[in-house]
Amino acid sequence: MLHTLSQLRSGKLAGISQLKLSESLKTFPLEILTLADSLEILDLSNNALSSLPDELAHMKKLKIIFASQNKFEHLPDILGQLPSLEMIGFKSNKIKRVSEQSLPAQLRWLILTDNLIETLPNSLGERPRLQKLALAGNQLTHLPQTLAQSRNLELVRISANQLTECPEQLLDLPNLAWFAFAGNPFTKVEAKINSDIHAQIKSVPEISSASYTLENVLGQGASGIISKAHWNAPQSQFPEEIAVKVFKGEITSDGYPQDELQACLQAGHHPNLVASVAQVNEENYLALIMTLIPENYQNLGLPPCFKSCTRDTFPPGFNLPIQLINRIVSQMQDVFVHLHNNQVCHGDLYAHNTLFDSQGNIIFGDFGAATSYQMLTPTQQEKVKNIESRALKYFIDDLLSICAEEDINSNEFNLLKKHVNN
């Protein structure tokens, strides 16, 4: 819910725990400090702020602060003095500097996507609760070696930076499961793609955007908008019913659209992957044409929430019989093998990126965080695969959390649980 400055000044918002202000603010409204005894979430995104006052230290209960799409040139040091602060989101500012002092002791979730950051402080790796780190679209040339200590880190986005070497300190982290690293100099090193993968990429032809017309929007994510579409002339080469994903721009929260397209094509065809049939690669227009998914498919899960941080959520009361879970898991395991046989790390292996029907057939998609990793050494490739195998285990564990009550502790349930725990 969007609030107003006049509501705040009139006292109508006294005692609230969440505040969202977007009024082209150039200075921090000190009236916010009157909420110090109650405020837990502060969203100041889409303003024109460049600093925060030292008085913010009085906000002892503040857990989450968002200030995306403002004009900050450095991450405010005052954030490091907030004892309860655990989630920071300063996406799409002009941040160049992140100091040792700006990172609070309880930091769990740091989003600095689409800024101008070249280096990060060693203190980042000295935040033991850190689980989620989103740094795509910066100017990072290296990462702190102290991140090797981040044993609770589960999700990392470092795509579209200036990293010249694969950050080895991340590859052995015991809980890292979702890893996106495309669009760095070290991923652009020429590496031999085997002939089968090369043939897969070439099998998806380029066509003109004038070949089709977009209809209603089916969905959208960080990297683009998916719409139903129809051909402007009869087609014999392609399926009649299609959907088109039009990529949003030069950079997304996961990286460059061109890297997503490359990984999607390199993944090739599989019965449980969204089928790519053509691509459009025109100036200022990048799109992927896919077969239209039947209407009887629905989302398997919902994205993580503030509380779950990196783990999927599900609608209240939603559950599945163990037979259906088993079928879904078996298909996803096959997808996992297929992707890594083609040297693609999906980076976002989640139930919320999976569609399913009443029979338990799945279609998996959204390659926004995917990375083609054939340029890595064999040892590094194996570690990347191990990272994503953890995501697969979390996927299974999340599904077991919504298993029908009568199937809990069945043989099938216990076998899957054993797989997760191994």
Closest CA to 49 of 65, 72, 23: 72
Contact yes or no for 180/159 (Cβ under 8 A): yes
Q: How confident is the model at residue 193 (pLDDT cuts 50, 70, 90)?
A: low
- Considering only the top CATH level, what class is 298-421? mainly alpha
Q: How confident is the model at residue 257 (pLDDT cuts 50, 70, 90)?
A: confident
Give the Cα separation of 284 and 291 in Å (integer). Answer: 23
pLDDT at 347: 96
Task: Give the model confidence (pLDDT) of 221-251 as tens digits.
Answer: 778 899 999 999 998 889 999 999 998 877 7
Q: Which pTM was predicted? A: 0.94
Instruction: Answer yes or no: is pLDDT of 32 > 90.
Output: yes
Neighbours of 393 (CB within 10 A): 17
Closest CA to 344 of 377, 378, 312, 388: 388
Q: Which residues are annotated as a binding site?
A: 245
Side-chain-facing half-sphere of 335: CA atoms under 13 Å? 28
Task: Give the model confidence (pLDDT) of 106-156 as tens digits.
Answer: 999 999 999 999 999 999 999 999 999 999 999 999 999 999 999 999 999
Instruction: Answer yes or no: is pLDDT of 22 > 70.
Output: yes
Q: How confident is the model at residue 305 (pLDDT cuts 50, 70, 90)?
A: very high
Instruction: Answer yes or no: is pLDDT of 197 > 70.
Output: no
Closest CA to 167 of 183, 151, 147: 147
Residue 320 class from Cβ within 10 Å (0-12 exposed, 13-18 middle, 19+ buried)?
buried
Task: Indicate the CATH number of 197-291 among 3.60.15.10, 3.90.930.12, 3.30.200.20, 3.40.120.10.
Answer: 3.30.200.20
Instruction: Answer yes or no: is pLDDT of 304 > 90.
Output: yes
Task: Indicate the CATH number of 5-187 among 3.40.50.1820, 3.40.50.10880, 3.40.50.300, 3.80.10.10.
Answer: 3.80.10.10
What residue ranges do the domains of the chain occupy? 5-187, 197-291, 298-421
Query: Residues of the chain with pLDDT > 70: what percent?
Result: 97
Q: What are the C-alpha distances in Å from 251 to residues 91, 216, 280, 290, 321? A: 12, 24, 17, 22, 40
Residue 77 class from Cβ within 10 Å (0-12 exposed, 13-18 middle, 19+ buried)?
middle
Task: Give the model confidence (pLDDT) of 389-408 as tens digits.
Answer: 999 999 999 999 999 999 99
Instruction: Answer yes or no: is pLDDT of 93 > 90.
Output: yes
Type of residue found at 409: N
Q: Which residues are annotated as a binding site for ATP?
A: 245
pLDDT at 199: 60
